[in-house]
């Protein structure tokens, strides 16, 4: 079938902006492309859209009616229905709402500049929704979360979330409003958060200004399986938790947090993997509560406070049926593997806490700890910890790390032009790693570790890195 092209409303008088429509999304060869130039025409075309159709809104600033732009009962079965701006950021949507979704699936929304006042919600009766290459800068209103995901199979990729000074979260992963199990509320499943740029959240409070929040205390025991990867966070200072994980079995990997007050915090839940992340020049690092997490191949440098916190608990474990006060408490860090990380030149390196329930059965192996201030390890009460194969250096004292769990020698690191501390060819860390309980098959840079493994996040090689700290060019609406 030959592709049809329609023009509704006024004629397109100007050429497309720098990025053409065809670069925004892809469609099937038989899809209809409809171009509109008003919200009313956009609504009409959405109402009659079929799978594979592509609706283009011409550049301009639009005041969206109070009811929003409705996407209801639409299903891009096999091929998404795509709603797209003429050029990236060329369509500005103003008003209380923008798109209002319900009972829909297989929908892509791409290239818009969102300037609304209320939340953009992807409700639980939707699925397979994609928000890509958009610019999110809502009205700076206290307590309004910007994007709230309650549906399964959602992809949030290559967007720009930026510039707010009030409480509220840029992106929340939640769950259905009505719990399936009254003793354990459920999380959204299959969420992907990829190559987004989060920047400049200046809310001065000590809670409520996260960049990403995956879940909530009453949903923490449910397995979300969210993948948060290749995102850049810059000056995200609205909360001590830039990435706040309050659910189970997630993947936080290959992200860069640069000059952020907030860090990566496993606040509630179990079984999350945190690996390959760069935390550079901010305040907080990685803080861990809950059970059975794996934290490896991370590179933390230049942090002005605690690089790695192994949390104690107000409770030993969260359990189904816990009272609300128990659900909000800190769950002691138990059975966590912390291996092949490099913590270099931070104000405080590995730190504990002193709540009623001490962390237990944590393995710390093959980490490089380098600092010239405070103690390298300053843990409170703990039980059953295993320390092995760690390498310590600098004028900071050893602290509470037990003898036999480390060697003190110069790791011979060299800082690259990208700010990463990597091993020199004569480093004593080369080939010195002990086996771990979790196979760490590659390193921070994406190089294979092979059978002879090095201590720290870097496996020595002369090859160029396959992964590096992210820059603005790697993320956001114009990323590859």
Q: With 90 as the cut, is the pLDDT of residue 5 above it?
A: no
Give residue 30's pLDDT: 62
**Cα torsion through 251, 479, 159, 217, rounded to 10:** 10
In this structure, the strands spanning 91-95 and 112-116 are: parallel
Architecture of domain 5-409+467-474: 3 Solenoid (2.160)
pLDDT single digits (tens) 353-384: 999 999 999 999 999 999 999 999 999 999 99
3-state secondary structure the chain: CCCCEEECCCCCCCCCCCCCHHHCCCCCCCCCEEEECCHHHHHHHHHCCCCCCEEEECCEEEECCCCCEEEECCECCCCCEEEEECCCCCEEEEECCCEEEECCEEEEEECEEEEECCCEEECCCCEEEEEECCEECCCCCCCCCCEEECCECCEEECCEEEEECCCCCCEEECCCCCCCECCECCCCCCCEEECCEEEEECCCCCCCCCCEEEECHHHCCCECCCEEECCEEEEECCCCEEEEEECECCEEECCEEECCCCEEEEEECCCCEEECCEEECCCCCEEECCECCEEECCEEECCCCEEEEECCECECCCCCCCCHHHHHCCECCECCEEECCEEECCCEEEECCCCCECCECCEEECCEEECCCCEEEECCCCECCEEECEEEECCCEEECCCCCCEEECCCCEEECCCCCEEECCCCCCCCCCCCCCCCCCECCCCCECCCCCCCCCCCCCCCCCCCCCCCHHHCCCCCC
Q: Which of 47-51, 167-171, 433-437 has the lowest mean pLDDT?
A: 433-437
Give residue 10's pLDDT: 32
Give residue 178's pLDDT: 65
Question: Rounded to whole angstroms, how far apart are CA atoms 440 and 207?
Answer: 34
pLDDT single digits (tens) 302-330: 999 999 999 999 999 888 877 777 788 89
Distance of CA 171 to the CA centre of its chain: 9
Average pLDDT over residues 336-356: 97
Average pLDDT over residues 250-262: 98
25 pLDDT band, cuts 50/70/90, is very low
Give residue 227's pLDDT: 98
Stated length of the chain: 480
Give me the residue spans of the domains in the chain.
5-409+467-474
Q: With 70 as the cut, is the pLDDT of residue 336 above it?
A: yes
Q: With 50 as the cut, is the pLDDT of residue 225 above it?
A: yes
Mean pLDDT of the chain: 92
Give residue 323's pLDDT: 76
């Amino acid at each position: 079938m030959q592709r049809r092209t329609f023009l509704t409303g006024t004629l397109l008088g100007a050429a497309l902006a720098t990025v053409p429509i065809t670069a925004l999304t892809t469609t099937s060869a038989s899809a209809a492309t409809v171009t509109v130039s008003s919200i009313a025409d956009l609504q009409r075309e959405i109402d009659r859209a079929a799978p594979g159709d592509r609706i283009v809104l011409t550049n301009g600033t639009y005041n969206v009616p109070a009811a929003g732009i409705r996407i209801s009962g639409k299903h891009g079965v096999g091929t998404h229905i795509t709603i797209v701006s003429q050029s990236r950021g060329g369509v500005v949507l103003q008003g209380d709402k923008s798109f209002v979704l319900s009972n829909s699936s297989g929908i892509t929304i791409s290239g818009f500049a969102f300037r609304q006042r209320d939340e953009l919600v992807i409700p639980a009766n939707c699925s397979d929704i994609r928000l890509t290459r958009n610019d999110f800068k809502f009205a700076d209103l206290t307590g309004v979360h910007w994007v709230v995901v309650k549906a399964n199979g959602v992809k949030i990729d290559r967007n720009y979330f930026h510039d707010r000074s009030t409480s509220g979260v840029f992106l929340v992963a939640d769950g259905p409003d009505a719990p399936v199990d009254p003793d354990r509320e459920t999380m959204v499943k299959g969420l992907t958060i990829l190559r987004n740029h989060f920047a400049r959240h200046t809310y001065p409070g000590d809670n409520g200004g996260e960049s990403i929040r995956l879940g909530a205390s009453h949903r923490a025991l449910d397995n979300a399986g969210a993948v948060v990867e290749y995102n850049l966070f810059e000056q995200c200072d609205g909360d001590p938790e830039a990435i706040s994980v309050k659910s189970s079995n997630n993947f936080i990997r290959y992200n860069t947090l640069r000059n952020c007050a907030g860090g990566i915090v496993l606040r509630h839940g179990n079984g999350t993997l945190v690996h390959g992340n760069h935390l550079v020049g901010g305040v907080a690092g990685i803080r861990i509560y809950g059970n059975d997490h794996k934290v490896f191949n991370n590179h933390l440098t230049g942090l002005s406070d605690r690089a790695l916190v192994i949390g104690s608990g107000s409770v030993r474990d969260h359990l189904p049926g816990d009272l609300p006060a128990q659900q909000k408490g800190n769950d002691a860090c138990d059975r966590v593997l912390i291996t092949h990380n490099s913590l270099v030149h931070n104000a405080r390196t590995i730190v504990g806490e002193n709540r009623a329930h001490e962390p237990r059965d944590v393995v710390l192996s093959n980490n490089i700890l380098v600092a010239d201030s405070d103690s390298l390890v300053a843990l409170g009460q703990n039980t059953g910890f295993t320390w092995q194969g760690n390498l310590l250096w600098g004028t900071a004292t050893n602290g509470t790390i037990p003898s036999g769990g480390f060697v003190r020698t110069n790791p011979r690191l060299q800082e690259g032009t990208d700010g990463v501390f990597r091993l020199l060819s004569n480093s004593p860390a080369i080939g010195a790693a002990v086996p771990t309980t979790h196979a760490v098959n590659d390193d921070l840079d994406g190089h294979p570790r092979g059978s002879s493994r090095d201590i720290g996040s870097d496996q020595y090689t002369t090859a160029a890195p396959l992964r590096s700290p992210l820059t603005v060019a790697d993320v956001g609406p114009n990323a590859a």
